[in-house]
Structure 1
Amino acid sequence: MSERTATLDPVVTEDHEALDEDYVLTASFVEKVVDAADDGDGLRLRSLLEDLHPADVADLMGFLTAEHRGVVVLWLPPDLLAETLPELDDGIREEVLERVAPGTLAEALQELDSDDAAAVVEDLEDDQREKVLAAMPATDRAAIENSLGYAEDTAGRLMQREVMAAPLFWSVGDTIDHVRAQGEDLPELFFDIYVVDPHNKPVGGIPISGLLRAARTVKLSDLMEPVNGIAADTDQEEVAYIFEKYHLISAPVVDSAGRLVGQITVDDIVNIIQEENREDILRLAGVSDESRGAGVFGVVRSRIPWLVVNLGTALFASSVIGAFTKEIQALVQLAILMPVVASIGGNSGTQALTVAVRALASRELNSANAMRILSREVLVGLFNGTAIAILLGGVSFLWFHLPLLSLTIGLAVLINLVAASLAGTLVPLALDRLDRDPAVASPVFVTWITDTVGFLSFLGLAGVILL
């Protein structure tokens, strides 16, 4: 985590503003950086960047080409480089790391907490990782290697090993004196002191604010509050849920024996929540996490599989239309109105699907309340379908002056909107029950269902009512 703090006013570097009033890098500032990089003016680059927050430097990297990033990174001071690396998009960070000498990188990583350092080292190629770790002090190297020993996207990988703990028999005064004596060895950011038993198992926690309010003679055992340690192998999404549900600022992480091995703080959880939300949004569109540094072929590979699946479902829906060619030839108005039925059904299905996927992700939807949510969505589809059916039937009558056609399309829309509500809720529920990510596959199947039901109900009713 960065020691630099964001100011409330836009950063002003030399004779220009780096950030606008919305904390976005200005075009003029980016142009000055590009010009300095083109001229190879390292001193100018360092002057431009030294007052920026690391998050703004990371944002700047996203606006630059690979060539310009390669020049800029060479002139970042080690402390600023260290604080910037965890902020970079994964693709850009991998590219930047290739430009940094192992010795420089080893020096920069020593400025980071173990969790951030491990996240950076994880992106290194094997040979570069070995060189960087070999250049680091044994203590820092061991902490990073230990973190990398945990599975990706777990609490063990997310945690920082730097943590403040105190034995059960200490007093407030003992603890405060111990904290003060640590000096630079203190964790960069911590909110709680964890009280541990002789086996190093957390038995309680004390907020720093509570510690400072208490008299020096008070025993920690009289002041501590219960804490629940998070197992190191807990998935990071589960960790985020625990923090959100119980309004935690920090939490201890324990190993399989229940011993304290680290802590997770709320700043890490904010990143996880943002990452999970971004993934859900992208997956609803059938794409993977594509940063600004993603290459063309990587983007193509992430998108084309679901386009192929969508092609198959679209051909199936088209085959439904093909089964009613006689009806369409007899009444050309059917061809004109078919897309309306499918489009409205698709939008309704997307609405129900988005609500269901988000509710599943936030654990607001499960088997306990699935029937109630499903009933609600069906009623919503029924009421919306009735309203749209009346409106569309009226428009159809004014357009074609065929009362039975208006009745047909009204009934078809009503049926399709109810089907859309059902599909938008049941499909993600079914996929979740099958341990499949509902955000990835649901949109294709919901669209397939609404298109098929829309065409089938409209053309099928037309064959019965009109012909």
Structure 2
Amino acid sequence: MDAHDDNLATGTLLEEQREARLDEDDRLRPQFVEAVRDALEAGDDTLAHDLVEPLHPADIADLFELFGRDERPALGLAIAELMSGEVIAELNEHVRDELLEDLSPDAVAQIAGQLETDDAVALIEDLDNADRDAVLAGMAAGDRAAIENALSFPEESAGRLMQRDFVAVPEHITVGDLIDFLRENTGLATDFWEVFVVDPAMRPIGTCQLSWILRTPRNIAIADVMKRDQTLIPAEMDQEEVGLRFQKYALISAAVVDRSGRLIGQITADDVVHIMSEEAGEDALLMSGAGEGDINQPIRQSYHERVRWLIANLGTALLASFIIAMFEDAIKTLVALAVLMPIVASIGGNAGTQTMAVTVRALATNQITKSNTRRVLWREMRVALLNGVTVAILVGIGTALVFTPLLGLVIAIAVVVNIITAGIIGMVVPVIFDRLDQDPAVASSVFVTMMTDSMGFFAFLGLAVASGITG
């Protein structure tokens, strides 16, 4: 067998081993997880270590999260040498916090020292002051200063997110000088896609992509090939806005500047991908009042985040019940009203939720601003009208056939009124939150549901009484 055949055989074996650990969606197979668990229960830490060792750091983090809280200490001991900074950075924040509780400050400091500054900040920012000070005291002076500087910026800001390692050069050098500089200085950032060009005051004046540098003759001045038009990120900018800028301008990386315009860091696309995913999931959960919605979150914390919105929903439900009570005599006279009321409320609630979801997303991506709010509201009203008429025709015909034509007309009109109301409320509520500088996703559904239910009951029962159908 020649070297080529050996390589093919080795590649096939590695692929088979990978498939034994991961399924077609790159998730750890249940059989593999059980094999690691069985090895730990049998006291065979060596076997557990050997099973886990080939995994990518992200997969090791997934394995750690798949184990129960009481099982994780044993797994941590068996694979201690594999629990690198990369693995810790990939862990769910609640699982990571549990792990840090069992480690000494020196051990946490050692892990933090292996990480990029932004990951190190995420690791220790939620520690109480005493533990944080102890961890920082155990770190190298340079790492400690970088983290303390990052912690001085607001949470979820560009200053917390940015990397402090970047490459910056003056504009008077040539491409050859830059290439020599990059080759000779081993202490430079290891991962970067562009070089920042700065003035003597360290203010960015342009950028050079690595592809330009590699394809340009050595004698050409950097000033002649650099791109002067660039997107600068203020250090205080919210991370969600950072993500929108990366998305809008198709950025790979961007310079972060302080209030005086000095270059202090960079943000790269891999950081932003994580943030955009996190923000999108957060908005969906906030709309439902489910808090973080993390299955690793402590039960007590999940309880506190969810129960307050359920209590608020109880209060809004009482308002709808009060409206129903106003028409108690009419409902007693015509039982069909009680049968049909949930239809009106349900359709209105779904219509409101649709509009609210579209509005929250549009606000999050800056598609709705003060300059086009009225136009978008008019658009949503027209969509609601079309939806309302379509559904009203269907429910009206059905009701007329089962009950009476007059009742069919009443419920049809009520459905149109409620869906139009839902379209307006579903947009107005998130916009009001946004204008008040509050997250537009924060449990908007509670308020939208209250208003659509109340309007649906009031319109349907009120029209029924006004039409004389109840006698």
Equivalence for 1:189: 191
Equivalence for 1:223: 225
**Cα-to-partner distance string for 1:268-305 (whole Å, 9 max, x where unaligned):** 10111011101100001112113221122111100011
Query: Are residues 107 and 12 of structure 1, via their aligned partners in 2, closer, same or farther at CA, if it must alter by over 3 Å?
Result: farther
The alignment status of 1:439 with 2:445, answered yes or no, reads no
Query: Are residues 127 and 18 of structure 1, via their aligned partners in 2, closer, same or farther at CA, if it must alter by over 3 Å?
Result: farther
- 1:289 aligns with one of 247, 268, 292: 292
How far did 1:27 drift?
A: 0.3
Query: Are residues 251 and 304 of structure 1, via their aligned partners in 2, closer, same or farther at CA, if it must alter by over 3 Å?
Result: same
Please give the secondary structure, in 1, of the residue aligned with 2:340. Answer: helix
Q: Which moved more, 1:168-177 or 1:139-148?
A: 139-148
Residue 210 of structure 1 aligns with an amino acid whose one-letter code is W
User: Aligned partners of 2:298, 2:284: CA distance in 1, in Å?
Assistant: 20
Residue 152 of structure 1 aligns with an amino acid whose one-letter code is E
On the 8 A contact 1:40/1:71 being kept in 2, the answer is no
- 2:114 aligns with one of 104, 108, 111: 111
Equivalence for 2:260: 257
- 1:463 aligns with one of 454, 462, 465: 465
Query: Are residues 73 and 128 of structure 1, via their aligned partners in 2, closer, same or farther at CA, if it must alter by over 3 Å?
Result: farther
Equivalence for 1:381: 384
Q: Which moved more, 1:433-442 or 1:196-205?
A: 433-442
User: Aligned partners of 2:423, 2:14: CA distance in 1, in Å?
Assistant: 49
**Cα-to-partner distance string for 1:329-373 (whole Å, 9 max, x where unaligned):** 111100000000000010011111110111011110122111221
How far did 1:253 drift?
A: 0.9
On the 8 A contact 1:16/1:29 being kept in 2, the answer is no
How many residues end up aligned between the 2 structures?
A: 458
Q: How does 1:47-66 map to 2 (within 5 A)?
A: 47-66=50-69
Please give the secondary structure, in 1, of the residue aligned with 2:46. Answer: helix
User: Aligned partners of 1:77, 1:329: CA distance in 2, in Å?
Assistant: 70
Q: Which moved more, 1:135-144 or 1:162-171?
A: 135-144
Q: How does 1:174-185 map to 2 (within 5 A)?
A: 174-183=177-186, 185=187
User: Aligned partners of 1:169, 1:208: CA distance in 2, in Å?
Assistant: 18
Please give the secondary structure, in 2, of the residue aligned with 1:456. Answer: helix
**Cα-to-partner distance string for 1:420-460 (whole Å, 9 max, x where unaligned):** 11111111112211222221142111111111111011101
Equivalence for 1:34: 37
- 1:315 aligns with one of 318, 343, 352: 318
Q: How does 1:394-409 map to 2 (within 5 A)?
A: 394-400=397-403, 402-409=404-411
User: Aligned partners of 1:332, 1:47: CA distance in 2, in Å?
Assistant: 70
Equivalence for 1:454: 456
Equivalence for 2:275: 272
How far did 1:119 drift?
A: 1.5
Query: Are residues 104 and 310 of structure 1, via their aligned partners in 2, closer, same or farther at CA, if it must alter by over 3 Å?
Result: same
Equivalence for 1:73: 76
On the 8 A contact 1:241/1:362 being kept in 2, the answer is yes
Seq. identity, %: 45
> Unaligned 5+ residue runs, structure 1?
1-7
On the 8 A contact 2:396/2:409 being kept in 1, the answer is yes
Query: Are residues 140 and 269 of structure 1, via their aligned partners in 2, closer, same or farther at CA, if it must alter by over 3 Å?
Result: same
How far did 1:105 drift?
A: 3.2
Residue 340 of structure 1 aligns with an amino acid whose one-letter code is I
The alignment status of 1:241 with 2:244, answered yes or no, reads yes
The alignment status of 1:423 with 2:433, answered yes or no, reads no
Query: Are residues 223 and 126 of structure 1, via their aligned partners in 2, closer, same or farther at CA, if it must alter by over 3 Å?
Result: same
Residue 325 of structure 1 aligns with an amino acid whose one-letter code is E
User: Aligned partners of 1:419, 1:67: CA distance in 2, in Å?
Assistant: 51
User: Aligned partners of 1:78, 1:314: CA distance in 2, in Å?
Assistant: 55
User: Aligned partners of 1:78, 1:264: CA distance in 2, in Å?
Assistant: 30
User: Aligned partners of 2:226, 2:242: CA distance in 1, in Å?
Assistant: 22
Query: Are residues 203 and 18 of structure 1, via their aligned partners in 2, closer, same or farther at CA, if it must alter by over 3 Å?
Result: same
Residue 326 of structure 2 aligns with an amino acid whose one-letter code is A
User: Aligned partners of 1:409, 1:10: CA distance in 2, in Å?
Assistant: 67
CA RMSD of aligned residues (A): 2.0
- 1:207 aligns with one of 203, 206, 209: 209
User: Aligned partners of 2:183, 2:78: CA distance in 1, in Å?
Assistant: 36
On the 8 A contact 2:288/2:446 being kept in 1, the answer is no
On the 8 A contact 2:288/2:443 being kept in 1, the answer is no
> Unaligned 5+ residue runs, structure 2?
1-10
Q: Which moved more, 1:314-323 or 1:60-69?
A: 60-69
User: Aligned partners of 1:73, 1:186: CA distance in 2, in Å?
Assistant: 33
On the 8 A contact 1:10/1:20 being kept in 2, the answer is no
Residue 206 of structure 1 aligns with an amino acid whose one-letter code is C
Query: Are residues 260 and 40 of structure 1, via their aligned partners in 2, closer, same or farther at CA, if it must alter by over 3 Å?
Result: farther
How far did 1:46 drift?
A: 2.0
- 1:365 aligns with one of 364, 368, 380: 368
User: Aligned partners of 1:111, 1:216: CA distance in 2, in Å?
Assistant: 36
The alignment status of 1:141 with 2:144, answered yes or no, reads yes
User: Aligned partners of 1:253, 1:40: CA distance in 2, in Å?
Assistant: 50
Q: Which moved more, 1:387-396 or 1:116-125?
A: 116-125
Equivalence for 2:7: none
Q: Which moved more, 1:424-433 or 1:37-46?
A: 37-46
Please give the secondary structure, in 2, of the residue aligned with 1:364. Answer: coil
User: Aligned partners of 2:188, 2:365: CA distance in 1, in Å?
Assistant: 35
On the 8 A contact 2:36/2:48 being kept in 1, the answer is yes
User: Aligned partners of 1:394, 1:204: CA distance in 2, in Å?
Assistant: 67
On the 8 A contact 1:113/1:188 being kept in 2, the answer is no
User: Aligned partners of 2:55, 2:15: CA distance in 1, in Å?
Assistant: 9
Residue 140 of structure 1 aligns with an amino acid whose one-letter code is D
User: Aligned partners of 2:209, 2:13: CA distance in 1, in Å?
Assistant: 33
Residue 61 of structure 1 aligns with an amino acid whose one-letter code is F
User: Aligned partners of 2:252, 2:388: CA distance in 1, in Å?
Assistant: 45
User: Aligned partners of 2:317, 2:269: CA distance in 1, in Å?
Assistant: 45
Equivalence for 1:3: none
The alignment status of 1:157 with 2:160, answered yes or no, reads yes
Please give the secondary structure, in 2, of the residue aligned with 1:67. Answer: coil
On the 8 A contact 1:73/1:81 being kept in 2, the answer is no
